[in-house]
Structure 1
Amino acid sequence: MLLGINPLLSPDLLHALRSMGHRQDIAIVDANFPCDPSKHRVIRLDGVTATDALEAVLSVLPVEKDEPESTWRMIAYDDPSYILPIFAEFSDIVDQHVPDAEVHAIQPAEFKAMALDAYVVVVTGERRLYGGIVVRKGVVPPPGE
């Protein structure tokens, strides 16, 4: 255990977060998300919701601020205006860490491709449908900036 570190951040996840470079992505996905650990860097957080995983990750990960989009979720039921409760939760969590940030809705196929191209895919125990988000890593500015 470490002081000040969310206990959901496993050693493997902390290593991945620290290893990520600027503008690389992390995908936090639900338990039904199809990915092959032999082809992708996959970390499992079984029994953890995607929203709890996002909260833990954003407690240490800077989010990209110099691009118009830095967080993405899927469009549900082919309707971009349809807001599932998990989408609202994702938005609230992102807004707590990056005020005025918007979680952008993209088509499921685009989301899946983006997630599978991410630096790391975190497969959670989330059972809610469309329970995934992609976050782009930002930078930690030098002291005094």
Structure 2
Amino acid sequence: MLKTLDPLLNADVLYALKAMGHGDRLVLCDTNFPADSIARQTALGRLLRIDGVSAARAARAILSVMPLDSFVDDAAARMEIVGSPDELPPVQQELQREIDHAEGRSWPLVSVERMAFYEQAKRAYCVIATGETRFYGCFLFTKGVIPPTAE
């Protein structure tokens, strides 16, 4: 355990979050997502895990250390429901609240069509699988920047 770090952030996840640069994307996915096969196609090339928790809880941990990219409109994206692109199921509503809390303001969670989501996921830096069992618990986050502090 480390001070002020969420205990869900294991060494592999912390390494990936630190290694990512501005504009790199990560996938946070549910248990039904083809996580391993997609992860093999990412920059990191292997699957990371935060097991036993919901997507929202894993997002809280990740967003406690990773800023979202304020230079793009789709820094936080969700897999849209097939046939109901505007519907936000509870899993996505919960994640929206975590994003808003982490960023300190209302932050857009944009919709990505299912097959387009898979294609974007393959170009991500990494995939982090969660214990989320509800459908459509899959998200993309784009890493932003942390401004320098005056010394």
- The answer on whether the counterparts of 1:41 and 1:119 sit within 8 Å (CA) in structure 2 is no
- 2:138 is aligned with 1:128: no
CA distance in 1: counterparts of 2:89 and 2:69, whole angstroms: 25
Task: State the match for 1:91 in structure 2.
Answer: 96
Name the SS of the counterpart of 2:129 in structure 1. strand
In percent, how many aligned pairs have the same letter?
35
- 2:28 is aligned with 1:28: yes
- 2:141 is aligned with 1:143: no
CA distance in 2: counterparts of 1:136 and 1:79, whole angstroms: 24
- The answer on whether the counterparts of 1:69 and 1:104 sit within 8 Å (CA) in structure 2 is yes
- 2:64 is aligned with 1:51: no
Counterparts of 1:47-86 in structure 2 under 5 Å? 47-86=52-91
- The answer on whether the counterparts of 1:23 and 1:136 sit within 8 Å (CA) in structure 2 is yes
Q: Deviations over 1:76-102 (max 9, x none)?
A: 132122110011111111111221211
Task: State the match for 2:109 in structure 1.
Answer: 103
- The answer on whether the counterparts of 2:54 and 2:131 sit within 8 Å (CA) in structure 1 is yes
State the 1:143 CA deviation. Answer: 1.2
CA distance in 2: counterparts of 1:71 and 1:46, whole angstroms: 21
Structure 2 spans left out of the alignment, 5+ residues = none
CA distance in 1: counterparts of 2:123 and 2:130, whole angstroms: 18
CA distance in 2: counterparts of 1:106 and 1:78, whole angstroms: 12
- The answer on whether the counterparts of 1:25 and 1:136 sit within 8 Å (CA) in structure 2 is yes
Name the SS of the counterpart of 1:88 in structure 2. helix
State the 1:32 CA deviation. Answer: 1.2
CA distance in 2: counterparts of 1:23 and 1:66, whole angstroms: 9
Q: CA RMSD in A?
A: 1.3
Amino acid across the alignment from 1:59: S
Q: Deviations over 1:46-88 (max 9, x none)?
A: 2121111100000000110111221100111321221100111
